[in-house]
Structure 1
């Protein structure tokens, strides 16, 4: 769908939502959306095909009766309260993965805060090349383009920054006790609900752009998971005993993420480090870190100023920069 059609769809849906249970006339829609009555009818038919129930009544106009749980731009933008994040969105019903699409858009010059989002990923990717299971219409599968003016050495801190922001947003909306596992997983009762994947392109020790990928199990039920993932993952719906509107979660995440990110750029990593430790799931426990140089076991006691995980072995403190973690 081209940019003009997207704009009309977004404006049309926003107008229907604005009127709530009341009818809005075709004439008013035509004036507000700035398109013909025939074009309005065509767009309403397209919305109906997407699952929207729109009632039409002669001499009264149109009324929105039911809206499906979609994560399309016309659903997100009316509820979005950010300055930049999510203002530009590319949406697909199904993609292999949002990450390469966001990389492509970033190389084309996408503005900071541009968002790629889908209803389903068929080849979702996690850290270290792992597959991320992304069933349709049940989770949040999205990638955000960032352009931070930071050296490459600080780039790993963006994963920790994002984990704090997503945790705070999800906790606020759901009330669930969501915790962070270093470096990029969010957990409920030790089971994974979210993974964060940070990929970047840099030149001359400066970050050119970052693609921040997020996969969140929202309304996923156990029967969606392959056998090898059962018992390891959970979802907000399973933990909370209810389903959640994905758009409400997305807009909360983007708002929180924008604020935390701007604070990181202004004040550095230290405030992020403090918040991360507040939400950490593993501090005070003995963990095993599988590093490129071998296995290290110790008590997790916090993050150092760079974002490395600190393990204590007796009187010795060992920084862990990259590894798989077993608690």
Structure 2
């Protein structure tokens, strides 16, 4: 029963589009796009940081171990076999800035993919834990309620793998990822001397800047051999401004010089995430809560929760104040009479704060 509860709450909790700049497409458009892509293979360039990791990706290529969804053809190349173009993701610059021992050290990069999340999910058992897949463009990105998204160029789109044993804390991973993004951006600002961008976390897994969505997180999981295989997707608007905003659009208002590069953000993210994830695994999320609450948008937020009365024919509105997170990762709130509640999304509303269900805590 515990496993079923974790899987249900986890998937319902995290299935959101990675970033608001992704363009929703009709089923007809997506089908035509997939059909076109299936006729010409997607290119996936493999790279490793160390000598042993380079041998790993060489073996992946030689054994033709990797696959894409929907029978889309795949052409795998080693980094040494392909000359990169000027505007593509700079693998060398990324690897040079990476200082992790696990995460991000095996890289699968493509100029155009259906979905980075599908790549790591489908090939989870073939690639080392911590591997990352990055795409310059996605034409079939994964979203909430099976929504499909196309992404313009200029966004940072990547997915990576985590393996965990304790299913009770799996739903909290999204918070560590969100926190790692905001902390990585702070580190880059400090390192390079440009103004700090006040990127904030909107519960449960969106990133906001100046009141506009600038990114988001998508997590999925499967259970196998007594372990949870978690695939984490990150979408971040770096240069793609419309229809919302981007990090570099905000920087242009503050400085005439420095602009963020996707390679620097990605390496800074993994450097920060590995550190925070180690704390999370060893000490629990409680050790990160103070830092998390400094970054999220909701401390002291007043929320109206709509509930039906006992006869189920009248909606009753209850006002509560958000205090933080419960141990299971939902919102902890207090009513005006002092009663404590745990707030859950109802599973139907796109905006979580318009579809919250409250459960009284004893």
Do they fold alike, i.e. is TM over 0.5? yes
RMSD value over aligned CA atoms? 3.1
Alignment of 1:111-260 (within 5 A): 111-136=128-153, 138-151=154-167, 153-174=168-189, 175-203=196-224, 206-222=226-242, 225=243, 233-241=244-252, 243-260=259-276
Q: Is structure 2 residue 298 aligned with structure 1 residue 282?
A: yes
**3-state DSSP of counterpart to 2:108:** strand
Alignment of 1:9-48 (within 5 A): 47=83
Are 1:273 and 1:307, in contact at CA under 8 Å, matched by a contact in 2? no
Bigger relative contact order, structure 1 or 2, given CA contacts below 8 A and separation 6+?
A: 2
Alpha-carbon shift at residue 238 of structure 1 (Å) = 1.7
Are 1:160 and 1:272, in contact at CA under 8 Å, matched by a contact in 2? no
- Give the equivalent residue in structure 1 for 2:25: none
How many pairs were matched up? Answer: 261
Are 1:288 and 1:325, in contact at CA under 8 Å, matched by a contact in 2? no
Give the unaligned 5+ runs of structure 1: 12-42, 52-67, 226-232
Alpha-carbon distance change, 310 to 7 in structure 1, aligned in 2, over 3 angstroms: closer
- Which residue, 107, 119, 133 being the options, matches 1:89? 107
- Give the equivalent residue in structure 2 for 1:265: 281
Q: Is structure 2 residue 339 aligned with structure 1 residue 316?
A: yes
TM-score between the two structures when normalised by the length of structure 1? 0.71
Q: For the residues of structure 1 that align with 2:47 and 2:120, how far apart are their CA atoms?
A: 21
Q: For the residues of structure 2 that align with 1:124 and 1:296, how far apart are their CA atoms?
A: 37
Are 2:47 and 2:108, in contact at CA under 8 Å, matched by a contact in 1? no
Q: Is structure 2 residue 322 aligned with structure 1 residue 300?
A: yes
Alpha-carbon shift at residue 300 of structure 1 (Å) = 1.6
Alpha-carbon shift at residue 178 of structure 1 (Å) = 1.1
Alpha-carbon shift at residue 284 of structure 1 (Å) = 1.3
Alpha-carbon distance change, 271 to 296 in structure 1, aligned in 2, over 3 angstroms: farther
Alpha-carbon distance change, 46 to 213 in structure 1, aligned in 2, over 3 angstroms: closer
Alpha-carbon shift at residue 287 of structure 1 (Å) = 2.9
Are 2:97 and 2:268, in contact at CA under 8 Å, matched by a contact in 1? no
- Give the equivalent residue in structure 2 for 1:325: 352
**3-state DSSP of counterpart to 2:135:** strand
Alpha-carbon distance change, 7 to 172 in structure 1, aligned in 2, over 3 angstroms: closer
Q: For the residues of structure 2 that align with 1:288 and 1:73, how far apart are their CA atoms?
A: 47
Are 2:46 and 2:109, in contact at CA under 8 Å, matched by a contact in 1? no
TM-score between the two structures when normalised by the length of structure 2? 0.64
**3-state DSSP of counterpart to 1:110:** coil
- Give the equivalent residue in structure 2 for 1:105: 123
Alpha-carbon distance change, 132 to 168 in structure 1, aligned in 2, over 3 angstroms: farther
Are 1:277 and 1:303, in contact at CA under 8 Å, matched by a contact in 2? no
Alpha-carbon shift at residue 309 of structure 1 (Å) = 0.9
Alpha-carbon shift at residue 72 of structure 1 (Å) = 4.9
Alpha-carbon distance change, 243 to 289 in structure 1, aligned in 2, over 3 angstroms: farther
Larger Rg: 1 or 2? 1
